[in-house]
Structure 1
Amino acid sequence: MQLFVLRCVTSAVGVIHVTGYVGSIVKVSCSYDEGYESYEKYLCKNNCGGSDVLITTSESWKNKYRINDDKTARIFTTTISDLHSEDAGKYWCGVTITGKDIYTEVELKLVPGKQGLPKNEL
């Protein structure tokens, strides 16, 4: 059994609330501070252990996840497609920094049906 110890700094942004529709897609956009443009970014779920990392900016596309880093705006966006009820829950946007990654909490809520585009709330 592997043990992952994470020291994290939570962003001052607070929690990003995102609502999506089952069977649809949702976009999760996370901002980061100046100076981190060249660092790797990622989206993870649960405790962010090895298998909890869903996608990184070095991959761009993995399974149902796509990620794009707009270094000019300093925002990276992860698109999650084919949403299912088990996709709801807590996620973390992360920036890989030696010794202490920077995290922003994301809460994804799903509602039944496909009633238009997902709604993002900050």
Structure 2
Amino acid sequence: MGAVYTSISDGRPLRHALTPSEREALLAAYYRSHHVALTDAVATASRHGRCLVVDCHSCPSHLLPYELDQRPERPDICVGTDPIHTPAELADEVIEGFRLNGYTVAVNRPLCRCVRSGEVLPP
């Protein structure tokens, strides 16, 4: 859906079409300021030699029209990874922790951009 939503989950418009300056104002106020704060927090924590950022989200139990991934299997939790910052063994530990607590887990699916397989893992 992008950094600035323009439609609701069924595709209807959320608001009027934004001008480039309106879009930039929203990005500056919310998106970029959030990332500056996150970058600063990681830099502060990294002074201790390491920092762990866990990127995960829950998923709606039913398919939404805007989702590119229309497979019917819906995980309870999606863990986001990337090939540069996420050691495979760390991702495996996070996934196993959720599974041991009875959750179904997917990696980079369905609301994330796929970096590696988005296989749904059973609990």
Q: TM-score, structure 2 length as denominator?
A: 0.24
* Structure ranking higher on relative contact order (CA contacts 8 Å, 6+ apart): 1
Between Structure 1 and Structure 2, the one with more helix by share is 2
Which has the larger strand fraction? 1
- The structure with the largest alpha-carbon Rg is 2
